[in-house]
Amino acid sequence: MKKIQLHYGADLDWVEPFVKKFKGKVDGNFIILPEEIHTGSRYFLDCGQGVIALYIDVKYNCDLQIIQKNLKHDFVGLYYHLSVDPTRLSFGDISTSMGSWTYNLSLIDSSLDHTFEVKKDDEIFIFCIFVKKEIIKSYAQNNNFSSKTIEAIMNPSKNTFIRWDRMCHESIHILDDLRKLQVGEVLFDLNMIGSAHMLISNYLTKISENNIIIQQVNQDDLSNIISAQQFLLKNLNNHFPGIKLIAAKFNMSESKFKILFKKITGNTANAFFLDNKLIKAKELLEENQLSVTEISKTFSFGDTAYFSSKFRKKFGILPKTYTQQL
């Protein structure tokens, strides 16, 4: 396995050393690495206000261990993993799997050395945000976030930490929308900047509401809730199966399932199901192949009026009007 030690930062000082480590090159905001390492897009952008974003959507062509040992300790890294193929995140003797259906969000203090491992043929999507700690504190104050957790992050005597979590469904949709755009175009850059700031806001909201509690959920329960999410996503064409059925399927009482689903996903199972159903319906509308009535039937909304009301509540526009604007 090839090993590379590198560093990042909430500025762009890391880009040139990074490229040299891999014997690559910079083309605009693209980092081009040799094909023996990976193919795909690796794109960085200064999002302003002490925020740097790194978009990674690649296929690795070798086994690789990436050791992150930062030179500056004035920032935190938010890492959003939406890869089907999981990566292995390790620090010291502790390691965990990161990917779409395991933990998919990590918050890591820049002073903490850690390691990512990927395998040959792994297809990896990670969106990284490097943000200065002072900016997080200022952002929290300006948006009236009040949380002991946020204060702890800013405390120099307690700033060596790592957290892994499940991102909220809104963050997943933000990244899904970004991935639909052509990397490097002006519209992509504008969306990447907006996405970075929205993701930071979502995460600070999660912190301020004391929802970073994955560490208190045992691995079996976490796996069951993730499996329940997968089950719901595979059945979006049907009616909501009901809490009783889902809880029984994953060996939980109804009350435990409802509490854990809300705790881990930030939403109720029914709201999660409806939200994703509407997202998929919107994508079908954009393909312009089916009518509003046909899409309503496809996703078992019952009738077009109900579908239209839910669509407008989520997206602020009726589905018929939306198709006319495409």
- pLDDT single digits (tens) 266-302: 789 999 999 999 999 999 999 999 999 999 999 999 8
pLDDT confidence of residue 225: 86
pLDDT, average across residues 78-88:
91
Model pLDDT, residue 213: 45
* Overall average pLDDT of the 61-81 stretch: 95
What mean pLDDT comes out for the span 220-244? 90
Strand, coil or helix: 266? coil
Q: Which residues contact 289 (CB under 8 A, 6 or more apart)?
A: none
| Amino acid making up residue 289 | Q
Sign, Cα dihedral of 300, 284, 126, 60 = positive
Mean pLDDT of the 63-92 span: 92
Q: Which helix (H) or strand (E) holds 198?
A: helix 186-208
- What structural domains does the chain harbor? 2-212 (2.60.120.810), 217-324 (1.10.10.60)
Answer yes or no: is pLDDT of 215 > 60. Answer: no
Q: pLDDT confidence of 212, banded at 50, 70, 90?
A: very low
Instruction: Give the integer Cα–Cα distance in Å for 260 and 154.
Output: 29
Q: What is the pLDDT of residues 94-143, one digit of tens each?
A: 778 898 877 899 988 898 899 999 999 999 999 999 999 888 878 777 77
Q: Cβ atoms within 10 A of the Cβ of 295, count?
A: 23
- Per-residue confidence (pLDDT) for residue 141, from 0 to 100: 76
pLDDT category at 14 given cuts 50, 70, 90 is very high
Instruction: Tell me what pLDDT residue 19 has.
Output: 97
> What's the pLDDT tens digit per position in 171-182?
999 999 999 999
pLDDT of residue 161: 60
pLDDT value at position 224? 86
> How distant is the alpha carbon of residue 126 from its chain centre?
8
Across 25-33, average pLDDT: 98
pTM score above 0.85: no
- What pLDDT, on a 0 to 100 scale, did the predictor assign at position 263? 76
Distance CA 266, CA 156 (A): 29
| Interval 53-60 mean pLDDT | 98
| pLDDT at 211 > cutoff 60 | no
Please give the pLDDT value at position 306: 96
Compute the mean pLDDT over every residue in the chain, rounded to the nearest whole number: 89
